[in-house]
Amino acid sequence: MTITWTMVMDFSATFAVTTGPWNHSYRALVERRECVIAIPTVDMIDTAVAIGTCSGKNVDKFDRFALTPVNARHIGAPLILECLANIECKVIDIVERHSIVVLQGVAAYIDETREEKRMIHAIGDGTFVADGRRIRP
């Protein structure tokens, strides 16, 4: 899934993401209790937006968007080869009232050979920031 709201919770590898029961990915998080935070770069913005406009319930997103799954070392969910970085995570809490899923990072990887390293950050109004510059896909 593409998710636009994430938060680092402390100085350990603890993250919070928000999604809810209306979302296929939320149900997968509840059932499997694991995921990968895959961090795309500017050159992947169109792919990231497109991934967010369809459901994994109906679409194999790896196939549709020509992404390469890579086996993780500590969890069953795959890493995404094309992303700059990947963080293997386990679900450690779900705050249902606020649709917040709390994740504990258990391993992280970065592709130092990747030429494009500028990450995209969603603003929430359909635009993104990369290195301080707004991008509208």
pLDDT at position 134: 67
Query: What's the pLDDT score for residue 101?
Result: 95
The per-residue pLDDT for range 80-137, each reduced to its tens digit, is 999 999 999 999 999 989 989 999 999 999 999 999 999 988 887 878 888 766 667 7
**Residue 36 and residue 75 in contact, taking contact as beta carbons nearer than 8 Å:** yes
Other Cβ atoms within 10 Å of 18 Cβ, number: 15
Q: Give this prediction's pTM.
A: 0.90
| pLDDT for 133 | 63
Cβ-based neighbour number of residue 80 at 10 Å: 22
Span 61-68, average pLDDT:
95
Q: 60 CB contacts (<8 Å, ≥6 apart)? A: none
Query: What's the confidence (pLDDT) of residue 38?
Result: 95
Task: Pick 81 or 56 by higher pLDDT.
Answer: 81
pLDDT over threshold 70, residue 27: yes
Model confidence at 68, pLDDT cuts 50, 70, 90, reads: very high
pLDDT digits (tens, 9 = 90+) for 44-54: 999 998 998 88
C-alpha distances in Å from residue 94, one per residue of 18, 22, 30, 37, 61: 10, 15, 8, 17, 25
Q: Is 15 exposed, middle or buried (0-12, 13-18, 19+ CB in 10 A)?
A: buried
